[in-house]
Chains A and B, each alone.
Chain A
């Protein structure tokens, strides 16, 4: 691309920004609910200024060069913030692609009489914007992945509450599929809570576990063994008929572990192990009255 057309672009920055903005405004994908027009204009202005300042005839073919660090930085920030705000990939792509449109439109008006220059500039701009678009996408996906990782961490945090149901009895309802990562967290939480509360009985309720395969069963057995090593008894409760069937079909031996069908019966067993009795109290007053 010739210096001449670049200089022209740099001179007509204001016009470019206006064209770009109006292109973005026209687009169906504009999300006024997620971002105000002023903010959009600021972002566009910042990017365009940096881009035009960086561009010269030597580096236009090479967006990997050091000159483009500032531009890629601004672009990355914009895409990451868009990913976090919940923009769709299409809307994010449109932001950069509409710049291409603005640039070509402006050049077209200026160089209608000089097709050779126009074609030259067209190709160069196409290349440039495409590589900028790739940067946008990489960072957009990265931003999304960060969100996913954070959510996974949060889910692991909240999904394993250890409940103290009685003096000396803790219960841990497991909800969702057990994988190695979660089992580790579940096990650590349970054991720590056993130490904290000095409980001698732990009830693992698996009624919220959708399926038990040999791996999950192995994880459960590990948890039970670790609890026993700490000096507490572990009862597994909430074994649904389907789960009982799969366990037997898989040939997993749970005979040396106390298992109960429901949390209620597990609690009953815990009471009898603690020599506690739950009794219905006869209300004499009512009888008298």
Chain B
């Protein structure tokens, strides 16, 4: 079965969805992602959906679920690169993904994550520096 690769970048996990998500794939992504968050102790998850052109209510719910799940595992989720058509569809479906952070592209998403989590992180790093 197809799997969507999850890349680890420092404290963040990067997922780029480049195929149209069918239900089973979305569920396995949810599963893999949550496991990965706990494995590597990730502080942020970045989901790039710029290549997704079709979305349904299930996919919207999965995104919301991932955000809520990572939230209680102390990680932030940012969805980036949503296409206008997808955004309109989600709004028409009544899914405003209120718990999810959004950004225009991966770069801005990273910035946002860094800003949100950076404070704790820089604090720790400074500690390490002083120990050295």
A interface with B by C-beta (< 8 Å): 184, 187-188, 191-192, 194-195, 198-200, 222, 225-232
Closest residue of chain A to B92 (Cβ to Cβ) is: A222
Q: Which of B68-90 contact A (CB under 8 A)?
A: 79-84, 86-88, 90
Smallest CB separation, B33 vs chain A (Å): 19
B114 at the interface (CB under 8 A from A): no
Contact status of A187 and B108, CB under 8 A, knowing A229-B82, A229-B97: no
* Residues of chain B within 8 A of A222, CB atoms compared: 91-92
Closest residue of chain B to A199 (Cβ to Cβ) is: B104
The size bracket of the interface on B is 20 to 34
Task: Give me 17 other A-B pairs in contact (C-beta within 8 A), A194-B84, A229-B97, A231-B105 excluded.
Answer: A187-B84, A188-B84, A188-B88, A191-B87, A192-B84, A195-B104, A198-B104, A198-B105, A222-B92, A226-B84, A226-B88, A228-B96, A229-B86, A230-B82, A230-B104, A231-B80, A231-B81
Smallest CB separation, B56 vs chain A (Å): 15
Smallest CB separation, B95 vs chain A (Å): 9
- Give the complex CA separation of A260 and B87 in angstroms: 24
- Give the complex CA separation of A40 and B90 in angstroms: 58
B109 at the interface (CB under 8 A from A): yes
Q: Which of A191, A192, A198 has the most CB of B within 10 A?
A: A191
Interface contact A228-B102, CB-CB below 8 Å = yes
Interface flags for B100-120 (1: CB within 8 Å of A; 0: not) read: 001111001100000000000
Selected contact of A231 from candidates B88, B90, B96, B104, CB within 8 Å: B104
- Give the complex CA separation of A268 and B88 in angstroms: 28
B interface with A by C-beta (< 8 Å): 79-84, 86-88, 90-92, 96-97, 102-105, 108-109
Closest residue of chain B to A184 (Cβ to Cβ) is: B88
- Give the complex CA separation of A2 and B80 in angstroms: 82
Selected contact of A229 from candidates B90, B105, B108, CB within 8 Å: B90
Smallest CB separation, A181 vs chain B (Å): 14
Selected contact of B91 from candidates A194, A199, A229, CB within 8 Å: A229
- Give the complex CA separation of A188 and B86 in angstroms: 11
- Give the complex CA separation of A222 and B96 in angstroms: 9
- Give the complex CA separation of A286 and B84 in angstroms: 51
Smallest CB separation, A224 vs chain B (Å): 9
- Give the complex CA separation of A117 and B79 in angstroms: 86
* Residues of chain B within 8 A of A229, CB atoms compared: 79, 82, 86-87, 90-91, 96-97, 102
Interface contact A225-B91, CB-CB below 8 Å = yes
- Give the complex CA separation of A187 and B89 in angstroms: 12
28 contacts between A and B (CB under 8 A): A191-B84, A191-B88, A194-B104, A195-B83, A198-B104, A198-B105, A200-B108, A222-B91, A222-B92, A226-B88, A226-B91, A228-B96, A228-B102, A229-B79, A229-B82, A229-B86, A229-B91, A229-B96, A229-B102, A230-B84, A230-B102, A230-B104, A231-B79, A231-B82, A231-B102, A231-B104, A231-B105, A231-B109
